[in-house]
Amino acid sequence: MSEALHYHFDVDGASFANAGRASVETKKLLRQLGVSPEIIRSISVAMYEGEINMVIHAHGGDADVYITEDTIIIILKDVGPGIRNVEEAMKEGFSTAPENIRALGFGAGMGLPNMKRYSDEMHIDTKVGVGTTIELWYHLNK
C-alpha cells in the first residue's frame, strides 16, 4: 500500500451541536482531492451516522480517515458501552437510543444499517464495557 494521507478528528460527545463536524470536514477534504461525488456522499452519510452513534452512546470518540490511491478507510473508535448484540443492532429499526434522542430525529434504528449500506466493507470490533471500533472501507477503482 502506498503512503496514506491521514486525518484525525475528535468527535465531541458533549452535545449534538458539533456532531457532524468530522463528516463535514472530511467531505470538504475529499472534494478537494477530486473523489467522485457518489463516494463522497456515501462516506459523509456513513461517517455522520457513526458520529451520531458516538454522541448518543459513547460520549464521543475518535474518527480517523486514511486515504490512499485506491482505498479510503474510515476508523471510528470509542470507549463506550459496546454493542451487546451486533446482529440485532444491524437490523433496520432496532434501536437502544433513549426517548430524548428520538425527539431530535435520531434513534430510528438506521445508524449501523446506513453505515453498511453506504460502505463497500464494514468491520465491527466491539466488546461490552470496553468500546467499539468500526472500520468503513471504500474502494476507489471499482
CB 92 within 8 A of CB 113: yes
CB 55 within 8 A of CB 76: no
Is residue 19 part of the contact set for another protein (CB under 8 A)? Answer: yes
- Per the structure block, which three cell numbers stand in for 84? 451487546
Residues 47-76 that bind another protein (CB under 8 A): 48-49, 52
CB 80 within 8 A of CB 131: yes
CB 99 within 8 A of CB 45: no
Is residue 96 part of the contact set for another protein (CB under 8 A)? Answer: no
Count of positions on this chain that bind another protein (CB under 8 A): 25
Q: How far is the CB of 104 from another protein (least distance, A)?
A: 6
3-state secondary structure of 65: strand
Q: How far is the CB of 58 from another protein (least distance, A)?
A: 17
Residues that bind another protein (CB under 8 A): 16-17, 19-20, 23-24, 27, 37, 41, 44-45, 48-49, 52, 104-106, 108-111, 113-114, 117-118
